[in-house]
Amino acid sequence: MSTPPSGPSGLLGDLQEVVGPAHLLTGEDLLASYTTDWTGRYSGTALAVLRPVDAAEVAGVLEVAARHGAAVVPQGGNTGLVGGSVPRARLAGGRPQLVLSTRRLTGGLELDRSSRLLEAGAGTTLAEAARAARHAGLHPGIDLAARESATLGGMVATNAGGLQAVRYGPMRARLAGVEAVLADGTVAARLSGLAKDSVGWDLGALLSGSEGTLAVVTRVALRLEATPVHRVAALVALDEVSSAVELVTGPLRRLASLEAAELTLEAGMSLVCETAGLAPPPGAGGAGAWLTVEAAADDDPTDELARALADPRVLETAVAGDAAGRGRLWAYRERHTEAVSRLGIPHKLDVSVRPGRLAALLARLPDEVEKRAPGARIVVFGHLAEGNLHVNVLGPPLEDDAADDAVLRLVLELGGSISAEHGVGVAKTPWLRLARSAAELEVMRRVRAALDPGGVLNPGVLEPT
440 phi and psi angles, rounded to 5 deg: -65, -40
Q: Per CATH, which fold does 110-226 belong to? A: 3.30.465
pLDDT in the model for residue 6: 52
Regarding pTM above 0.85, the answer is yes
Strand (E) or helix (H) holding 110? strand 110-112
Rounded average pLDDT per 10-residue block, the chain, 465 residues:
54 97 95 91 94 98 97 94 92 94 96 97 97 96 93 96 94 96 96 91 94 98 97 97 96 95 97 96 96 97 96 95 97 95 93 95 97 97 96 95 97 97 93 96 96 96 84
Alpha-carbon distance of 327 to 341, in angstroms, equals 21
pLDDT in the model for residue 92: 87
Quote the Cα angle for 319-339-103, to 5°: 95
CB 7 within 8 A of CB 31: no
Alpha-carbon distance of 107 to 121, in angstroms, equals 6
Best CA proximity match to 271, nearest among 325, 358, 332 = 332
Alpha-carbon distance of 57 to 61, in angstroms, equals 6
Q: Number of helices (H) and strands (E), helices first, in the chain? A: 17, 18
CB 34 within 8 A of CB 49: yes
pLDDT in the model for residue 312: 92
CATH class of 8-101: alpha beta
Parse the chain into domains and list their residue ranges: 8-101, 110-226, 230-337, 343-438
pLDDT in the model for residue 9: 56
Best CA proximity match to 310, nearest among 256, 236, 231, 258 = 236
pLDDT in the model for residue 38: 84
Range 343-438 has CATH code 3.30.70.2740:
yes
Strand (E) or helix (H) holding 119? strand 117-121
Best CA proximity match to 265, nearest among 412, 377, 103 = 377
The rounded radius of gyration (Å) of the Cα atoms in the chain is: 22
pLDDT in the model for residue 465: 65
Q: Per CATH, which fold does 230-337 belong to? A: Alpha-Beta Plaits (3.30.70)
Residue 323: other Cβ atoms inside 10 A: 10
pLDDT in the model for residue 7: 56
Give the contacts of 290 (CB within 8 A, at least 6 positions apart): 235, 236, 237, 238, 244, 263, 264, 265, 269, 281, 282, 283, 332
pLDDT in the model for residue 429: 94
Tell me whether the CATH fold assigned to 230-337 matches the one assigned to 343-438.
yes
Cis before residue 5, ω within 30 degrees of 0? yes
Alpha-carbon distance of 35 to 86, in angstroms, equals 5
Tell me if residue 185 falls in helix, strand or coil.
Answer: coil
